[in-house]
């Protein structure tokens, strides 16, 4: 015996299915690969291509939490975090650039140096 399913029930199930798919998608669809150009042209001069500059003058970004990096860049951009060097670079970045750059550096290895 087949169970009759009303069209309304089927619609509700498909809506629930779509919602479930959206829920499992990552919160930000950041594209780490898209950041590579900016990293090569701008950021690597100080932070290194993998975010692990050997110089103590520049914070290491490799392996840092993605949300921390994105917040730092947004704060430089808004002026909530003040640094004359980073303010200039962050000012040129879009929200999407920031997400991509944060994803890129977060995906790099974290390298620990104990002394310079
Ligand atoms: C001319 C050198 C220079 C360049 C180029 C540069 N930065 Fe920075 N960056 C710094 C310095 C210096 C700091 C530390 C500033 C501070 O004390 O807040 C910093 C801090 C940061 C921080 C915060 C790190 C932390 O641990 O809080 C992030 C994130 C960051 N930079 C990302 C980038 C990105 C992405 C780019 C490329 C768009 C970039 N930087 C380009 C010098 C640079």
Q: So what's the pLDDT on residue 112?
A: 81
Higher per-residue confidence, 6 vs 71: 71
Residue 75: how many other CB atoms lie within 10 Å? 16
Could you read off the pLDDT of 93-114 as tens digits, one per residue?
999 999 999 999 999 999 887 7
CA of 115 to the centre of ligand 1 (A): 20
Most informative mutation of 85, 102, 108, 110 for ligand 1 (most atoms within 8 A of CB): 85
CA distances from 8 to 5, 13, 20 (A): 8, 9, 18
CA of 33 to the centre of ligand 1 (A): 19
Q: Which residues line ligand 1 (CB under 6 A)?
A: 38, 42-43, 45-47, 58-59, 61, 69, 72-73, 83, 85-86, 89, 101
Q: Is 71 exposed, middle or buried (0-12, 13-18, 19+ CB in 10 A)?
A: middle
Report domain extents, the chain. 32-106
Q: Given a cut of 60, is residue 116 above it in pLDDT?
A: no
Could you read off the pLDDT of 19-73 as tens digits, one per residue?
555 555 555 578 999 999 999 999 999 999 999 998 989 999 999 999 999 999 9
**Dist. CA 73–CA 23, nearest whole Å:** 26
Most informative mutation of 47, 56, 94, 110 for ligand 1 (most atoms within 8 A of CB): 47
Q: So what's the pLDDT on residue 104?
A: 98
Nearest CA to ligand 1 atom 6: 43
Instruction: Write down the pTM of the prediction.
Output: 0.81
**Dist. CA 65–CA 96, nearest whole Å:** 17
Which class is 32-106 in CATH? mainly alpha
Q: Given a cut of 60, is residue 18 above it in pLDDT?
A: no
**Dist. CA 56–CA 67, nearest whole Å:** 23
Higher per-residue confidence, 54 vs 81: 81
Average pLDDT over residues 68-96: 98
């Amino acid at each position: 015996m087949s169970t009759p399913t009303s069209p309304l029930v089927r619609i509700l199930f498909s809506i629930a299915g779509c919602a479930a798919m959206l829920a499992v998608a990552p919160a930000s669809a950041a594209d780490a690969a898209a950041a590579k150009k900016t990293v090569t042209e701008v950021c690597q001069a100080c932070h290194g291509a993998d975010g692990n500059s050997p110089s103590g003058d520049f914070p290491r970004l490799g392996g840092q939490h993605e949300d921390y990096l994105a917040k730092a860049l947004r704060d430089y951009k808004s002026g909530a975090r003040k640094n004359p060097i980073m303010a200039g670079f962050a000012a040129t970045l879009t929200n999407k650039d920031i997400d991509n750059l944060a994803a890129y550096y977060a995906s790099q290895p974290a390298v620990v140096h104990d002394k310079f």
